[in-house]
Structure 1
Amino acid sequence: MPTFPEQLRARRLAAGMSLADLSTRTGYDRTYFAHAESGRRTATEPFAAAVDVALNADGELYKAWEKEDAIRRRDAATHRTRAAALAISRDLCAMADLDISELHAGVEATAVDYLGTPPAPMMDRAHALRAAAAERIRSGHHRPQDRSDLYVTAGQLSGVLAYALLDMGDPQEALHHVAAAARCAEYAGDAELAAWVAGTRSLICRFMGDYGLALDAIRDGYQHVGSGTGTGEARLRCGEAQCLANLGDSQAANAALDGAEDARGRIRRPDSLGGLFGFSAAKQSYYAGSSLIWLDGGHDAERAAREATAAIGMWQAGPEDERSLDDERLAHVYLA
């Protein structure tokens, strides 16, 4: 679809009009027209309306401008939210004594909704929750005995932002948010959150293609597991399998996936938070399939197909709050 500047120029030329002719008809300087046609200057709404009439465009030129203006406004809003969220993450990393308000209900809902909602709205929601928390930090409105739980809440919100920015294609910005989440987990002394953060840091590094750093993050995360609390170890071992498979080590990748199955069998207490922070059996099978497709076929391809099929079946038969539609679509791709 041609842009507004392209349509403006095409219609002017088709009408056999010069920039001077249009300038005379509309009252706008010819230099303004030149910049508007080249895209060096964003046209204003009155200008779009004036040239639409002057060129007898029947509203088509104005509609093209209106559509592009809506995109500009949306992008500007997204940029403002990202910049503000990033500033808070940097602030969280710098604070020596961080206090976060009690926002558990909002975090729980966001963690579940994330699996079936585009990342931009989730980024907006997480940023709004964390902005409210930052205000409570500055005012000190919390009980001293709540400090650990509030750190965990801050870490979880930072983790949601890390996922959102990764899904929006900005791993560097996601790393700032995951660093804030790690700092909060450290202050809270929460091993479950620390293990989840390590797995998320590894995921970001894998997205960037740095499997060495991704493995380092996984191995750092193992110090936080072993108590039978939550799915952290299973998730880390699946992340390790993804690294090893991309590095071409079939034997080690399969061993890591076997270790993930063993870890799931040792779970004695479920995850504290579901949704984005959980790691269901379906997700584990999905990780296995998405790991082994990078190897050379044979046994690896057979296991990848079994695991992808199992993941699809569990998601379709399981509870809605554990169903990640994006991952389910990818599982079909891996199976194919």
Structure 2
Amino acid sequence: MVTTRPKVCAIGNSQREHLKMLSDSVEVRVASHVSEHRLWGRLMQLAKIGATESGGVSRFALSEEESLARRLLIEWASELELEISTDDISNLYFRLNGKNKQAAPVMSGSHIDSQPNGGKFDGTFGVVAALEVLQAIRESGTQPDRSIDAVVWLNEEGSRFSPGMMGSDAFSGRRSLDDCLRIKDSKGVLFAEALETTQSEFQSLPRRSFGEPVCHYVEAHIEQGPLLDAAVIPVGVVTGIQGSRRFRIRVIGEQAHAGTEPMENRKDALFTAVDVIQEIRSQLMNLYPELKLTMGLFEIFPNAPSVVPSSAYFSNDIRHPNDSALAESRRIIGEICDSNK
């Protein structure tokens, strides 16, 4: 193995001036006020709300747990003297006013709802990181040229009310509020009812309109895969986003007795569902090896040991950064379902 000594370079006056300019820059001054201890402490406080035995969280949209998390965030934002507001779907906004209040703000944030037994940093880190930036800016004595909003999007996960991304979709105009209000959760609770409960808890907050102009949006997020960690890279910049398509497939068969119905006469919904799943997996993964395919929900009826299932119901989540791949995958899934009727 060959080793070499590091080169020692003399620093000229111009380089010294450049280094001094960097040390005096707004960015460095603000960054010096970022507190890792404070950031971690807030993450741990939020992680207690809806905590599970396995170390995760179950904190669903418009639930009591989410309301408790909202109150904690509002408490922190109030201490920072940020402008706090909401909107008609209960997104939360914390604003640090800039010099030009009329200019479109920079926005950063994420969500605080989770999957069942979900990760305690998923989404939450983006919200807490945005608040930490606003606090660091204030403590540095800096006022930005334009306002900066930390945002908490409602029901990003969709684990209680499906589909997800309701808050961000309503804000951007991709989905109407009326469409969301008609949706029910698995217990039959209307989104409209749950939303009204949350709004009544936070009725003192001023409301802002959907679709207000935004100059830039940036979201800090934990890596949910192993790639950066395996490469020992602390931060990555996203160059593409996994587009997703979500389906619900129901197979209708015929209930029968497990001990008397001949196999050739059976219309077993579960067997057909398994065949459909295997065919979907085989075709899509052969065509798009980089596609992400998940079937995380599966229900059968009557779900009894001695009864041939009369129905099977399952989810199908596909993700790929290319829209044409998603469109072709959707076509294939429909074709497979039709061929198994």
Q: When the two structures are superposed, what TM-score results if normalisation uses the length of structure 1?
A: 0.26
Larger relative strand fraction: 2
Q: When the two structures are superposed, what TM-score results if normalisation uses the length of structure 2?
A: 0.26
Larger relative helix fraction: 1
